[in-house]
Structure 1
Amino acid sequence: METTVALHQDAPPKPKPGETCNGCGLCCAVTLCPLGRLRFWRTRGPCPALHWDQNATRYVCALATGKWTKRWIAAGKGCDCAYEAEAPG
């Protein structure tokens, strides 16, 4: 099944599986992590906690603010998003 999501034009490219998260936003634009599912009571994205950080030119999670929440969702760890991104056109 094909899914289309819109990401910021300056978002970094999706890293390869296992590479460090770079804030591309693709995973959170498509589905919600366990923390997002509990907070927002839904499974499909985009996650309401996904925000564009203009200064850092990357997406950030508004829920992953503490040590334990970051650890729980493995924020900043290896990319585990099975989706692939392609530019429109």
Structure 2
Amino acid sequence: MHHQVIHIHAEAPPKPALGAPCNGCGVCCLVEPCPVGMLISRRRKGACDVLFWSDEASAYRCGLLVQPDRFMAGRWMSWGPLRRLWLRWARRVIAAGRGCDADFVQDEP
């Protein structure tokens, strides 16, 4: 059995059950980046570089989806049709809104 320690914001909601709606707990992205996050973070293990804590939402958020200009700088992001395609593709690859797919056990401290 593999153990990994991740540091979770004290106010983060608990990880939902597998298949339950995402609640922004951040556990999945703190363990490893998704395929899109791997491109941006340039790593396959550890916390995703584009994951950030939102005080407003009291939850973790994916910067690629809510702040794409911050993480995907460049003139091409300002072009409306390409921007919309990028966001649609990113949501699909990340499986945003599909439910929790983090299939592992989270131990309490």
Contact 1:37/1:43 (CA < 8 Å) preserved in 2? yes
| More relative contact order, 1 or 2 (CA 8 Å, 6+ apart) | 1
Q: Deviations over 1:28-75 (max 9, x none)?
A: 000110001112221012111110001111000101243331122111
Aligned twin of 2:23: 22
Percent identical pairs in the alignment equals 43
Runs (5+) with no aligned partner, structure 1: none
Asked if 1:80 corresponds to 2:101, the answer is: yes
Conserved 8 A contact 2:18-2:99: yes
SS of equivalent to 1:38: helix
4+ residue runs over 4 A deviation: none
The offset of 1:10, in angstroms, is 0.8
CA RMSD, aligned part only? Answer: 1.2
Measure the CA separation in 1 of the matches of 2:102 and 2:63. Answer: 19
Q: Give the TM-score normalised by the residue count of structure 2.
A: 0.74
Q: Any unmatched runs of 5+ in structure 2? A: 67-86
Find the residue that maps to 1:64 and give its secondary structure. Answer: helix
Give the secondary structure class of the aligned counterpart of 2:106.
coil
Instruction: Please state how far the C-alpha of 1:13 moved relative to its aligned partner.
Output: 0.6
Q: Which position in structure 1 is the counterpart of 2:32?
A: 31
The total of aligned residue pairs comes to: 88
* Higher helix proportion: 2
Structure 1 stretch 22-31 or stretch 71-80: which is displaced more?
71-80
Q: Matched residue of 2:65: which SS?
A: coil
Matching residue within 49, 69, 75 for 2:90: 69
What is the alpha-carbon distance in structure 2 between the residues aligned to residue 29 and residue 78 of structure 1?
A: 17
